[in-house]
Amino acid sequence: MKAAWMMKAAWMRGGEARTKHSVLSAQYYCCVVLFALAFAGDQGFADERPVNHGTIEFKPSAEEANIAERFQLSEATFQWQARRMQTVTESLEVWDVTFPSPVKTPEEANNTVHCEYYRSRLSGRRPGVIVLHILGGDFPLSRLFANVLAQHGVNALFLKMPYYGPRRDPLSPRRMVSADPRETVEGMTQAVLDIRRGVTWLAARPEIDSNNLGIFGISLGGITAALAASAEPRIKSACLLLAGGDVGQATWDAAELRAVRERWLAEGRTREEYFDVLRVVDPVTYAAAARGKRILMLNAASDEVIPRSCTESLWKALGEPEIHWYSGGHYSVMRHIFGVLLRVPRFFAAE
């Protein structure tokens, strides 16, 4: 029952999972556990599974000059490897995919991007979507969405962001979202560049319709997805779940980050300086570049983590795309999980 414990832990621990178990209905919890048991990742047979590998060349298009400098990619050739995992059904198969990050950090483990590729077994060229996880670093929820996307004929690349999962050095305290906002800027910048390389990998796949690429993220993943949608011209659609902008304001006011705020002030720095540091990775800063793309925002009406004003700031900056407000808070909104699990794949499969 390890997978069941993982699903419970996904909502019970970490900075983004301090809600109580009581907010999850028994029906929802049982459903998610069943998915986790079936799709919790590789469980063995490492020496018997097929392995693919190849080389991809990225050449910047003319649009690269219009992208914010920190998110630009240089011409490069990179190698990738994919090993099929144990999960194979009539509708999908899952592959473990790795490729080098375009960013080199002192933590060697962080320099390899790890992904899980949920490939639909439907015929023809299908849409491709990058899937991003929550702040807490628990992956079952992202796997659940990637699985459902693939079952609806949308190939999903679940990408593990910097310093998460196998990218985390157990001897290093470094994290993507850090107590030092300057380190957060570096982590989120690397995440966007990793996503852009992930898009390059998807676009090169023969089963992918390279003109129908999208991105989906939850909470921190949704904020990062909004950044990537503004920085990557090949992303044509984005679904942002529990995301918002004005990240300086949202994090400064967060009760969970009181220690960060106090440490910053103790260094003799100001609130305005804190906002200035984070503005370079605030999706509101770059959102105009994503206007005209297909965007769907799904948010909690009483979100206690991402204030409604921060969500509305991003919504306005994106050109007021379609938005839906679910009743509940950042965690209790999960009682609407069944409806969201239907809405997200339909959005990406629409084209």
Q: Is the pLDDT of residue 10 over 80?
A: no
pLDDT at 256: 74
* CB-based contacts of 42, cutoff 8 Å, min separation 6: 85, 86, 87, 94, 96
Terminal-residue alpha carbon distance, the chain? 39
Residue 80 · residue 51 · CB < 8 Å: no
pLDDT at 11: 36
Q: What is the mean pLDDT of residues 332-340?
A: 95
Sheet with 76-88, strands from edge to edge, namely 51-58, 76-88, 92-100, 112-120, 155-159, 126-132, 208-218, 235-241, 294-300, 322-326
pLDDT at 254: 81
pLDDT at 138: 84
Q: What is the mean pLDDT of residues 293-309?
A: 96
Q: What is the mean pLDDT of residues 314-325?
A: 98
User: What is the pTM assigned to this prediction?
Assistant: 0.88
Residue 137's region, left for phi above 0, alpha for psi from -120 to 50, else beta, is left
Q: What is the mean pLDDT of residues 19-33?
A: 40
Which tops the pLDDT comparison, 47 or 292? 292
pLDDT at 258: 84
Which tops the pLDDT comparison, 57 or 179? 57
Q: Of the ranges 15-29, 53-67, 329-343, which one carries the lowest mean pLDDT score?
A: 15-29
pLDDT digits (tens, 9 = 90+) for 103-127: 999 999 999 999 999 999 999 999 9
pLDDT digits (tens, 9 = 90+) for 64-98: 999 999 999 999 999 999 999 988 889 999 999 99
- Dig out the tokens for 4 from the structure: 């069941």
pLDDT at 307: 94
pLDDT digits (tens, 9 = 90+) for 233-282: 999 999 999 999 999 999 898 877 788 889 999 999 999 999 999 999 99
Confidence band of 9 (pLDDT split at 50, 70, 90) = very low
Q: What is the mean pLDDT of residues 171-175?
A: 95
Residue 157 · residue 128 · CB < 8 Å: yes
pLDDT at 351: 61
CA dist 346 and 148 (Å) reads 10
